[in-house]
Chain A
């Protein structure tokens, strides 16, 4: 298990150092600094020297580092680092050198609470916030009853939520955000090499008491359902969603969702944490609706010029629009200058430092089309290195659109006081560095 936990800044200075075990001294931090922080060519998030292994996750120029001398569960260690980062973000609003230094005493309290002897312990933010705070607590005044409630929650079956009476809202509301990151790799010929959707369902629940929620989607799970074991898996598809049902390849849920219920009848039932959390993640690969089409024509004219003709087309309804469209078109490393012309909307310019033409379009209506043409001038070079032709990358957002076709069918909230609750659903599809076309 984890023996030591550190946070380093970019210079390799230690911001937090917690040794959970006696098999290391603090000077082990120097080894990490030499091996990773000051090494310009780190090619793994994990290095092992002798029996000692260093795991690191980078965030905003910080290194979150766990060290171990055992055959640790690597997935657990990295998940723990991720969780720690999330907790910091939730506590301090952000995770960077400044916020860690400004709150280092709380950070120490946290690393002591969420990990004991290298074993991750309760790390539910909502619960942690009930007893680890940035305010001073006078120990004598804290009533044992209050503490007992905290401990019951920290170790209980719903450790992610404070007990019923502690959560009160005037207006009971729940916001559901379906966020889909669509990945696409198009070939130079215009065919799709791969297209898939990573979906996240974020929920912000501001609901009083202990609400019991039921959540429904228009999914049809392609994973075979049916009796397991002696009777063998049945081959039928559980098509519950009707004609417009979407196929999800896989889905994964927040700790609060009852997996046994899901396994039994595909129902998603849970008692939500208070506030924001990620309810589920899913993946879809069939019938992906690509919101944007990119048609590139790139020609190398001799060795001195490259001409570009890039057309963007939206495929969704005219009522919707794509915003913050950014197209990054790579140019050869020996480009001296680029002439860019645009047909339609947006602004484009050549960014020499990154060797790309950046084309920004603030808003592109559904059904619209626009194009860019450019000519890059090249200097002659002595090296024979061919141009690697990195793919063209497109980033964008489309509100109220899901590339998978997923729709939230219902969200029911049951609470013993029987209050009325308001639910909001939003959909967003975006590309996040994974919407690319080769040319």
Chain B
């Protein structure tokens, strides 16, 4: 640029009166409008710093007469900031707006409608309506593409009015515009409208979808994203339709913009649900891998988005990246959020063939500095042992080595996972119990302590001094957390069952039962105490059978998301929901949920597990204050269908003039046999036994605890009102 700006000096707080005086002074002897420009810059800087400059409204508006674009833009910026709060004065600028709307310069025309539509109050929208209608048919594409977004703004301010004005239809027509940028913006605006709970439904038919696809090569990268995103509003009726569409968009995987890639992947994953051609599905899976890996060379923020999505994708399509575990090895200087995300993927991709490599990495991480990361690395070693039987021996050895280090949090984490390993491989590794017992004193966290106590109780028959150890642990019984108390209670009962002849065991069980029933405040603990007591009193033998009954085997199934949920979540690939692994409607107010739509082409398995979309409101939370004239809460409608206002235009594009009907009645295609199954079911489904007699079963959910540490939106725990930040 010619000369660098020197405007930093304007970042100083000023007084309204001073600025007003300066503006007044600038009305005379202002050569080249330097004075006005200076004051306006000061005002904009003050707005930025959060000062209220709205009292200057009439004075600033005066500057609109200045024939300097820079000044016009600053005044417009001022109007966008304060116009809404000055409904009584805004009429002063309407003539200027109208004049600009008819300027010969397309940039000015666009600027005028863009600015007006940012001020959503009736006086302005009233004036805007006619001009916007013209702008949507302007001969200049720049004005049209701006106008398309203006419709979305108008709609968000007053949906019914925008509908009455016929703007939705105008927008629909713009989807057939000759200019790709205009098409893309029209699609973006319609999508926004369609995502509103009270909005017009936006869906695509084959002909329109194809038209949109044709616009992709000429669209800007952002436009490509809007168009690719809208493909999820098209429901293929035939396998071949889905297949052909996928073939057309697959080239976008080579695009340099990560959002284009992820949105393409989202569309491909979606279309794959409607495909039949096994070879093509395999081919697409193969093609998706490399671009996903390449995203890991982007900035850390994009890497993070990619990693969280990869975690979902590989659960649904396990062939993707199957052989690429190495690319997910952590770099020492990766940001922590990337390391944690990679760790999870490494675990998912671990198999017998690569377990050695993965384990070696995990061991490396276990000596790093970040506490959270180290703990998860240790826990992953344990999970690996449970997942890959062939690696279990090495994992156990690794865990023992880690326990040797005596670093307390490492030891505790190791103890927690070892408990699960014992359950996964009964009778195999109990020999290491002495090593664990050496570290009893290091355990100060409830989960670790409870795990250790479980081990002591469960294997009290082979631990000679189990009674002493448990007795020691019971010294602080009343100060322990409930988790540990429950564990201790059951452990001493087990001890008693094993060694009912030993005095110490008798004494101990009596002591603990007395505490739990007489002194404990926690009703669960007390109840369990009474229960054991009576069981032991009535029939000790049966009590023993119950307490030491055979436990259901541990598998790694529980940490795998089920197919229906995955199918649904993958419809949000690349979005916030895909990062938190939550459907958006569960954590964002008024967010649109998505579900696969049934059609003759939908494969049978997807249909069987399909989770239909219930248009549920977020849990009702009393009076909701929504700042500003935002969307109003739709009245609680319990019907599962979209709350449609009665006289609603449905932008089903079949109404478009250019296309012939594309609905071909399904014939032989409707027997969709799902060959998908083989691919995603690399582990047989495992039905969890409901009859869990072991009172510890709830503690075994080490994975549940692990998953709870995942990134997630900070939910409002105490007060539902916090759900939205009202500022």
Please give the residue numbers on chain A whose beta carbons come within 8 Å of chain B beta carbons, in ascending order: 1, 13-17, 19-31, 43-53, 55, 57, 68-76, 78-82, 91-93, 98-99, 101-106, 108-109, 112, 116-117, 119-124, 131, 133-140, 142, 144, 147-148, 150-152, 154-157, 159, 183, 185, 187, 193-194, 196, 198, 223-224, 228-230, 232-233, 249-255, 258-260, 262-263, 278, 280-281, 283, 384-386, 388-391, 393, 433-434, 436, 438
Contacts and interface: CB of A to CB of B under 8 A. Distances in A.
A193 B5 contact: no
Given A251-B254, A255-B257, A283-B297, A92 B1 contact: yes
Interface string B545-573: 00000000000000000000000000010
Interface in B230-254: 243-244, 247, 250-252, 254
B572 A71 contact: yes
B299 A27 contact: no
Given A75-B262, A105-B44, A157-B218, A280 B106 contact: no
A259 B327 CA distance: 26
Given A70-B591, A283-B297, A384-B406, 17 more contacts: A17-B50, A20-B118, A23-B628, A45-B304, A50-B724, A51-B589, A52-B725, A71-B576, A74-B579, A99-B5, A105-B74, A117-B117, A119-B149, A120-B222, A136-B68, A232-B279, A232-B280
A93 B714 CA distance: 38
B105 A75 contact: no
B315 interface: no
Top-9 shortest CB links A-B = A151-B142, A250-B290, A71-B584, A48-B713, A101-B8, A103-B5, A76-B259, A75-B259, A232-B279
A253 B48 contact: no
Given A253-B255, A255-B256, A223 B287 contact: yes
A155 B185 CA distance: 11
B332 A390 contact: yes
Given A14-B48, A259-B254, A30 B727 contact: yes
Given A74-B579, A108-B77, A49 B713 contact: yes
Nearest to A21: B156
Contacts of B286: 223-224, 233
Contact of B220 (A46, A159, A223): A159
A360 to B, nearest CB: 19
B722 A71 contact: no
B188 interface: yes
A95 B146 CA distance: 28
A201 to B, nearest CB: 11
Given A155-B141, A438-B364, A75 B369 contact: no
B697 interface: no
A93 B146 CA distance: 29
Contacts of A20: 118
B499 to A, nearest CB: 36
Contacts of A121: 145, 185, 220, 222
Interface stretch (B176-184, B469-477, B503-511, B676-684): B176-184
Given A29-B50, A259-B254, A134 B2 contact: yes
Nearest to A433: B333
Nearest to A98: B8
Contacts of A388: 367-369
Contacts of A46: 301, 304, 576, 579, 711
B220 A255 contact: yes
Contacts of B331: 183, 185, 434, 436
Contacts of A233: 279, 282-283, 286
Range of interface residues on B (Cβ < 8 Å): 35 or more
B7 A102 contact: yes
B221 A255 contact: yes
For the residues of B in contact with A, the DSSP-based class is: helix
28 contacts: A20-B118, A30-B727, A50-B723, A51-B724, A71-B575, A71-B577, A75-B258, A79-B258, A98-B8, A102-B5, A112-B114, A116-B146, A119-B222, A123-B222, A136-B69, A137-B69, A154-B142, A193-B357, A250-B291, A252-B255, A252-B256, A253-B256, A259-B252, A259-B255, A283-B294, A283-B297, A393-B332, A433-B333
B725 A76 contact: no
A55 B49 contact: no
B628 A22 contact: yes
B152 interface: yes
Contacts of B326: 193-194
A139 B47 CA distance: 25
A259 B217 contact: yes
Contact of A103 (B4, B576, B725): B4
B48 A16 contact: yes
B277 interface: yes
A73 B188 contact: no
Nearest to B47: A17
A73 B575 contact: yes
B402 to A, nearest CB: 10
Interface string B96-117: 0000000011111010001001
Given A79-B257, A105-B41, A55 B587 contact: no
Contacts of B179: 155-156
B143 to A, nearest CB: 7
A131 B69 CA distance: 11
B4 A139 contact: no
A117 B291 contact: no
B629 interface: yes
B291 A78 contact: no
Majority DSSP secondary structure for residues of A touching B: mixed
Given A75-B258, A154-B142, A230 B277 contact: yes
A195 to B, nearest CB: 10
A155 B179 CA distance: 7
B667 interface: no
Contacts of B68: 136-139
Nearest to A79: B259
B172 to A, nearest CB: 18
B588 interface: yes
B161 to A, nearest CB: 16
Contacts of B45: 104
A157 B146 contact: no
A3 B248 CA distance: 33
Contacts of B615: none
A154 B184 CA distance: 13
B425 interface: no
B580 to A, nearest CB: 7
A258 B217 CA distance: 8
A148 B725 CA distance: 43
B575 A74 contact: yes
A120 B252 CA distance: 19
A262 B293 contact: no
A272 to B, nearest CB: 14
A179 to B, nearest CB: 12
B574 interface: yes
Contacts of B134: none
Contacts of B222: 76, 80, 119-123
Contacts of B195: 70
A142 B305 contact: no
Contact of A142 (B105, B294, B299, B589): B105
A13 to B, nearest CB: 7
B459 interface: no
Contacts of B47: 17
Nearest to B711: A44
B434 interface: no
B192 interface: yes
Interface centre among A48, A106, A434 (most CB of B within 10 A): A48
A51 B220 contact: no
Contacts of A187: 360
B280 A228 contact: yes
Contacts of A69: 588-589, 724
The residue in B48, B247, B405, B725 that gathers the most chain A C-beta atoms within 10 A of its C-beta is B48
Interface string B575-608: 1111110001001111110000000000000000
Interface string B201-222: 0000000000000000110111
